[in-house]
Structure 1
């Protein structure tokens, strides 16, 4: 059953799980995925924690203790989420050691309400790195305009970063520049840059969801023929941009000092349109030095019937550009779509975090000791 996942790994794609819960940790489920399905990393986000804590089991005792201490809801939530990330990092520590720090990583995101504020984002990144206190942690920072300098400063302090919510090619290039600048500053301060790692999470399925909706509204045969083309084209052109950066003299100078490349990570790879193959954003985005972080249904689908045919990215750039140009020619603005998706991405994570704060606060009140 795992042959497809092994082939995917052999092609240079690191398989990460886009999910985490305390039940998955304590039941041995995460360890089983690592052992049997070639999972070598975990990503989390506010939506994942909102689902895990509000619907899952295993949090009652910690919530009871936090309620007894009468901590703030913000502190309680950070204690809960960092505990899960710490435990997952410990489970993945052998992978981290075996890959020289490349994989075996667990990501935790800064408070999404800080997405448009640089200094608080940097402060939160430092706090999370301190709270989790595991070398195989990645701090997730959104690729908002305010996030770009925060990425640079965080990297410059030696903290490894997962840059999230990337939708546009222009923003992705800015993210790569922010990473390189951070490495250069870290090196200038005498830090060992070989210990700094990063991935850049380029979101996939949401691009098709938004553009397909606009193509459907046009209602023409020409528009219908372009359904399902945008997301893959966008991601493939992102990989082309990555290749351009790692071929640059600027990167070569850092590589000579043992810097680690910032790998492209394909995020949002669960297929949302049932008309498409459920492994579409896995089998069609196979390229060396990438990460694909999958929700468990996508992981299972790939294991069961995914067809891994080798590199499906390099050599596709001309067609990818033609597909995006054809969509633009129909009056669908690429810049407008990716800007909307970035704004919506931040808003969705903010809502999940706010909902989680509300539900956690209710639990703390329920479990609070009665006054004598």
Structure 2
């Protein structure tokens, strides 16, 4: 007789301290095998996806063959097929997480779906696709992911103003994060002015973590010396902690107080890219060092497993660290490593990586559709 999944003490401790654990992974196998439901029983309360995750899922196994065959028979284009496949996965995951959504009053139980990353610098088309994706998934717990590019900011405002919940992604810099917070407030205010019920709008801001250390550490290694070595592995957490300080400042504003009085909900900081890339660091580094109330930590499967197994959650590790965090980033800057240069490059690379994954996803679906046509409507088992 199998034992029902239980919530580990580290995950339970994160929840007690205000951190929602989301899974940074999604596939049809994950949903239909019952694995996602079992993860929910272990304390996972949300799911994020991105083009890289979908490209990986589509390249494996046979879970998508029936739908691909139906899409070919219907005459769907490759672009239409990709939309159908990804929205189906998200819709089914939304249904699995619906009880969490209901139990938390809409705060968690969320599943995120990203707009085509090739639209990252096209405001109008981002708005159009975000609205279309939300309508296609047709679930109250879906979140549409919009990148925090300069062109993405007005799209974030416009989509929130339509009453659609938004996950803002690819945030690396503090200045851009402050602009995201402003875009979020603008969106809520516009929704309120239009008579839309703001109580149903939720948002998270995905602040990327580990990639900052990867970029800064590489530059520190080039500088060399004891001072540089002592700063390795400090920039990412310091950056995220100062982002939380900016979040607290906005929540202390009269502008937010007016929206809160109307029933609006905060845009929670979400720690993304929390898988540790440097084996010299603890594998739960970006979990235990970023514990703060009203945050989300979206973890790849390996980080979730490590957290469940041995993470030591010691309470809030963010709110009393702002002075130290600022000093650490200043020390990095004094060594000639420009903060603006680093975060600008990371955003550029982040968009490019997602675009490449999207092209890979298109190619994978196109190949699968071609195989169906060549086999007379019967998908090849790869």
Which residue in 2 is equivalent to 1:228? Answer: 233
Aligned residue number for residue 210 of structure 1: 215
The residue number in structure 1 matching 2:67 is 62
The unaligned stretches of length 5 or more in structure 1 are none
Q: Secondary structure at the match of 1:356?
A: helix
Aligned to 1:53: 58
Aligned partners of 1:178, 1:326: CA distance in 2, in Å? 31
TM-score (norm 1): 0.98
Which of 112, 123, 137 aligns to 2:128? It is 123
Aligned counterpart in structure 1 of residue 79 of structure 2, from 70, 74, 81: 74
Q: Which runs of 4+ in 1 moved over 3 A?
A: 369-372
Name the CA shift for 1:271/1:70 in 2 (closer, same or farther; >3 Å): same
- Residue pairs, 1:1-372, within 5 angstroms: 2-36=8-42, 38-368=43-373
Contact 1:21–1:56 (8 Å) recurs in 2: no
CA–CA distance in structure 1, aligned partners of residues 357 and 252 of structure 2: 39
Which runs of 5 or more structure 2 residues have no equivalent in the other structure?
1-6, 378-382
Count matched residues: 371
Q: Is the 8 A contact 1:173 1:241 kept in 2?
A: yes
The separation in 2 between residues aligned to 1:225 and 1:105, in whole angstroms, is 39
Q: TM-score, normalised by structure 2?
A: 0.96
8 A Cα contact 1:23 1:57, kept in partner = no
Compute the displacement of 1:105 (Å). 0.2
TM-aligned CA deviation for residue 218 of structure 1: 1.0
Contact 1:22 1:57 in 2 (8 A): no
Q: CA deviation at 1:370?
A: 6.7
Per-residue deviation, 1:56: 3.7
